[in-house]
Amino acid sequence: MTATEQRIEKLRTEALSAVSDAATTSELEDIRIRFLGRAAELSEIKKSIGSLSPDERKEVGKSSNLASREIENALSEKKNDLASSERESKLRKEAVDVTLPGVPFQRGNLHPTQRIIDDVVDFFVGMGYGVAEGPEVETDYNNFTALNFPEGHPARSEHDTFFLDEGLVMRTHTSPVQVRTMLENEPPVYVVCPGRTYRNDSDPTHTPMFNQIEALVVDRGISLADLKGTLNAMARHVFGEDAKVRLRPSFFPFTEPSVEMDVSWGDGWLELGGAGMVDPNVLEEVGYDTEEYTGFAFGFGPDRMAMVKYGVHDLRMFFEGDLRFLRQF
């Protein structure tokens, strides 16, 4: 055996034992480069074959090729083994134990005001009313003028209005939805209008944004008795069978007569909101025949109702989004 052949034999055994010791496919790649790569000793030997004597050339050529092939085969066999065991251990690591208890999921719940709104709207829909909505940015015309607030009338300034550009305001009540509904529909009209409203006001019972629910009925022969009957039915639905509504004289430009409505609560009365018979000036403004039609309207704050129903003392809590508070309902 020539010295070169001994070198080949040594490289062959070294390579085969490295392959058999390899633990990962990336180690195998290193081994391949080390023993079969362009700069490997075995490759150098093959390159030098041309300069050997013919006899030697044949022997060295043969044994170096055999060695390369043997190393290649060992590499590819080992690679298959490792790849499948690596796949297995990956699968084992990623396996999900479906018998473990799940991560508890936090369930949301409806905001107390939203519960009242849904409850009241359901009640009216059940009586055959439609639901009407309007934009929160409203024209001064719909919010005031069409509702019989004359220009410069003190009732306008009582609303603490957020004025926007060019005859627009943040609506101060849901009553402009009355105007929109009547402009778009011929009587009879039976609608309930929930929505957000805005006034520049903030204390324990007032927030700059608050909710209102409006109702409007226009039909033949509608009277104040219909208003009171409707309010009583709604109060019983929301507050229970014993609830009653009390009306007190009041003033709104768009109703005549106008009343303030209270609902019985415990031993006392809770102020709900305003109501009245739709002022004929409003009906005329939207083109309704006041000889034929009369109507009633009312508007109240579901936030206030929620405060009372759930015993919350500061209205501002409803709008702070504090989950510790909201989760209690």
Footprint of ligand PHE on residues 211-250 (CB under 6 A)? 214
CA distance 169 to 142: 10
The three-state secondary structure class of 209 is strand
Span near ligand PHE by CB under 6 A; candidates 62-70, 89-97, 137-145, 295-303: 295-303
Q: What track of x and - describes contact with ligand PHE for positions 130 through 169 (by CB under 6 A)?
A: ----------------------------------------
Q: How many residues does the chain have?
A: 329
252 is a contact residue toward ligand PHE (CB under 6 A):
yes
Span near ligand PHE by CB under 6 A; candidates 28-36, 57-65, 101-109, 270-278: 270-278
Structure tokens at 114: 């939203």
Of these, 191, 275, 305, 315, which contacts ligand PHE (CB under 6 A)? 275
Q: Residue-wise over 139-150: b if at least 16 C-beta within 10 A, else e?
A: bbebbbbbbbbe
CA distance 20 to 285: 97
173 is a contact residue toward ligand PHE (CB under 6 A):
yes
The three-state secondary structure class of 154 is helix
Of these, 112, 134, 295, 299, which contacts ligand PHE (CB under 6 A)? 299
210 is a contact residue toward ligand PHE (CB under 6 A):
no
User: 194 or 299: whose CB is closer to ligand PHE?
Assistant: 299
Q: CB of residue 163 vs ligand PHE: minimum separation in angstroms?
A: 17
User: 252 or 318: whose CB is closer to ligand PHE?
Assistant: 252
Q: Which residues pair with 113 in a beta bridge?
A: none
Span near ligand PHE by CB under 6 A; candidates 121-129, 180-188, 235-243, 274-282: 274-282
Of these, 273, 282, 288, 294, which contacts ligand PHE (CB under 6 A)? 273
* Residue 114 dihedral angles phi and psi, to the nearest 5°: -65, -35
302 is a contact residue toward ligand PHE (CB under 6 A):
no
Going by the DSSP 8-state scheme, the letter that residue 300 receives in this structure is E
Which ranges constitute the DSSP H helices of 195-248? 224-239
Structure tokens at 13: 């055994």
The secondary structure of 39-103 as a DSSP string is TSHHHHHHHHGGGS-HHHHHHHHHHHHHHHHHHHHHHHHHHHHHHHHHHHHHHHHH---TTSPPP
The three-state secondary structure class of 319 is helix
194 is a contact residue toward ligand PHE (CB under 6 A):
no
297 is a contact residue toward ligand PHE (CB under 6 A):
yes
Q: CB of residue 103 vs ligand PHE: minimum separation in angstroms?
A: 46
298 is a contact residue toward ligand PHE (CB under 6 A):
yes
CA distance 168 to 165: 6
HEC letters along 194-227: EEEEECCCCECCECCEEEEEEEEEEECCCCHHHH
Of these, 64, 161, 207, 255, which contacts ligand PHE (CB under 6 A)? 255
Q: CB of residue 324 vs ligand PHE: minimum separation in angstroms?
A: 32
175 is a contact residue toward ligand PHE (CB under 6 A):
yes
115 is a contact residue toward ligand PHE (CB under 6 A):
no
Residues at the site binding ligand PHE, with contacts judged by CB under 6 A: 173, 175, 214, 252, 255, 273-276, 297-299
